[in-house]
Amino acid sequence: MHASARAQRDAFLRKLASPPAVMGILNLTPDSFSDGGRFASFDAAVAHAAAMVAAGADVIDVGGESTRPGAAAVSASEELARIAPVLARLASEVAAPISIDTYKGEVAARAAELGAVMVNDVWGLQKDSGMADAVAAAETALVIVHNRVEKEASVDIVADMERFFDRSLALAAKAGIPRERIVLDPGIGFAKTSAQNRAAFAHVAKLKERGLPILVGVSRKRFLGSDAPALDTLAGTIAANLAAATLGASIFRVHDVAEHAAALKTFFTLRDTTL
């Protein structure tokens, strides 16, 4: 990793000690559930990333494959074709660290070469056997997201999450990924029933006991079920993220950056004033 990228990585990780950190979502996909296809052109993607940084994003999370339920998988070569030209420009044109949202080691390695300083793996090193080594070699930070192959209502999702993180952290340690570069994400909306999403969300406070920063990604997701409040609205998403903040989350992955930056800044200012 180049010295400038290393400095950017470390500055972002230091920021997590005094939250909030807002992660702006940049989907370079035709089929993401919320904004698929909106930023397919390179110019539009770079402009949107710059706008999110201006609005208060601390890091930009770039994805070239949709992770919505039922989305079709894409090859590493297709994913790279979508992201590489944009990453090359973001590194020189956008004044914020870049995260790559991928579960493929080949994609993570190339993204790091193009300037990404964080890998956001929705399979927590457990989908691609080469991912842990790729992250270690690239020296990026790492987000480990809890995931499952399919929903199973009978599963104790909290116990499943703890076992999953134990395995992912063991893989990270074996590959030589420093623990201080790791972030955990409970994977809200990933192969979980509404009840399991609630349990995973509530477990954020317990996850904090592992001594690692917690990221939540609830933006525009109706993760509580169709009969629950409409969390896929802006107001609902902000409410959910503020609830996550009370539980100890420090990184918030969102589409609507300006509104979340303002709401979270107010929340943490008031919280710290009253402590």
CB neighbour list of residue 85: distance below 8 Å, 6 or more residues apart: 42
> Does residue 211 surpass a pLDDT of 50?
yes
* Residue spans of beta strands (DSSP E) within 162-247: 182-185, 215-216
Total domains in the fold of the chain: 1
Decide if pLDDT at 122 tops 60: yes
Q: CB neighbours of 36 closer than 8 A, spacing ≥ 6?
A: 27, 29, 30, 66
- Report the predicted TM-score, pTM, of the whole model to 2 decimal places: 0.92
List, in order, residues 6 or more apart from 43 with CB less than 8 Å away: none
User: What is the percent of the chain where pLDDT is above 70?
Assistant: 91
Q: In the prediction, which pLDDT does 159 show?
A: 98
pLDDT value, residue 40:
58
155, two tokens: 């599963």
- Tally of CB atoms within 10 A around 130: 15
Residues 39-92: pLDDT tens digits?
558 898 999 999 999 999 999 999 999 876 667 788 999 999 999 999 999 988
Residue positions annotated with a catalytic role: 221, 253
Mean pLDDT, residues 231-239: 84
Residue 63 sits in a domain of what CATH number?
A: 3.20.20.20
Domain around 251:
3-274
